[in-house]
Amino acid sequence: MKSQVIIPKGYKPALSLKETEKAIREIKEFFQTNLSFELNLVRVTAPIFVRANTGINDTLNNVERPVSFPIKDLGDVKAEIVHSLAKWKRLMLAEYGFKTGEGLYTDMNAIRADEALDNIHSLYVDQWDWEKVISAEQRNLEFLKSTVNKIYNVIVRTEKYICYKHENLTPFLPEQITFIHTEELEQEYPELTPQQREYEACKKYGAIFVTGIGHPLKNGQPHDGRAPDYDDWSTRNKKGFLGLNGDIIVYYPVLDIAYELSSMGIRVDKKALLRQLGIRNEQDKKKLYFHKQLLEGKLPLSIGGGIGQSRLCMLYLHKAHIGEIQSSIWPEDMIKQCRKHNIFIL
């Protein structure tokens, strides 16, 4: 099967390989420094793998298979390469004793073996995963939006910084991000798929935060998949919409696509967890370690998310393929096709 890859017409990299590697370092140093300042986060060390059958690993859309292996010295207990650290981070908030308004961030490196490979999807995923303790009063849409605005301001600030450092690059992100709910997208573009709706909204506004991802829409299907045990997608907010989570998505002119940079949300409390496990018929998860800790009140209320490192670098450096930023494994036909059009995959 031929790989799906977008080839921008007349594409030519703005930076050489050496300049690209230098710029990646500049981006990562600047971004994480500013993110930690804006959200009051402390960097911590994170695992690459966790024990299986504990409920700690992120199940994403509940269909992706984790890469696993037996640990010889533990009697072949099975470990799993993380998909993300959505639940582990919340455990660490309790472990480190973070207070309300304090949080952590970490470099998350994952392998997602079931990923469909294209310009922006890779087997290797690198994110800044972050999590922050909040109060019960902050579990609302207004607090979510204020946090999104802080993160988006860091995204725009970093773009201006890297474009100043490399004059071949020109900023294109809008100064403000627009908030829109999945139900509003469905109402505005009823004949389109969720992905097509995101594209139209991104073209219109430049940068959007799509809220309420995970709950069923009028057609009975969710806008996109979300596991039931980290983001709260079933609590109704003051505007009458379901969901206290969402994605930061921008219009990316190099590929003419809607380009997701971050998934985040206010995390489930006890009520939301039980409700969402019921909706998905996954009550058996209540027996797992993470879920028992949450249901027994041993974990703090929190907000958190992941911000794609390679994706941000790709956007800032105007690259056509994420393989120009990170080293991974790609189909041979994709590599050959890209080389013909000045896209040099690492």
What pLDDT is attached to residue 62? 64
Which amino acid type is present at position 346? Answer: L
Residue 226 has what pLDDT?
87
Beta carbons within 8 Å of 162's beta carbon, 6+ residues apart: 23, 26, 27, 30, 169, 316, 317
CB atoms closer than 10 angstroms to residue 45:
7
Q: How confident is the model at residue 1, as a pLDDT?
A: 47
Q: What fold is seen in the domain 17-339? A: BirA Bifunctional Protein; domain 2 (3.30.930)
Res 3: pLDDT: 61
CB 168 within 8 A of CB 15: yes
Output the pLDDT for position 115: 85
Both tokens of 257, joined, read 């696509």
CA separation (Å) from 291 to 267, 268, 274, 306? Answer: 13, 11, 10, 21
Question: Considering only CA atoms, which of 313, 329, 331, 332 is closest in space to residue 14?
Answer: 313
Cα 200–204–208 angle (5° rounding)?
A: 85
Structure token pair of residue 165: 């450092």
pTM of this prediction? 0.93
pLDDT value at position 159? 98
pLDDT tens, N- to C-terminus, the chain (346 residues) = 456 899 999 999 999 999 999 999 999 999 999 999 999 999 999 998 988 888 787 776 667 788 889 999 999 999 998 888 888 999 999 999 999 999 999 999 988 888 889 999 999 999 999 999 999 999 999 999 999 999 999 999 999 999 999 999 999 999 999 999 999 999 999 999 999 999 999 999 999 999 999 988 888 888 988 889 999 999 987 778 889 999 999 999 999 999 999 999 999 999 999 999 999 999 999 999 999 999 999 999 999 999 999 999 999 999 999 999 999 999 999 999 999 999 999 8
Rg (C-alpha) for the chain, rounded Å, is 20
Q: Which residues are catalytic?
A: 58, 112, 127, 247, 260, 263
Structure tokens at 101: 């308004």
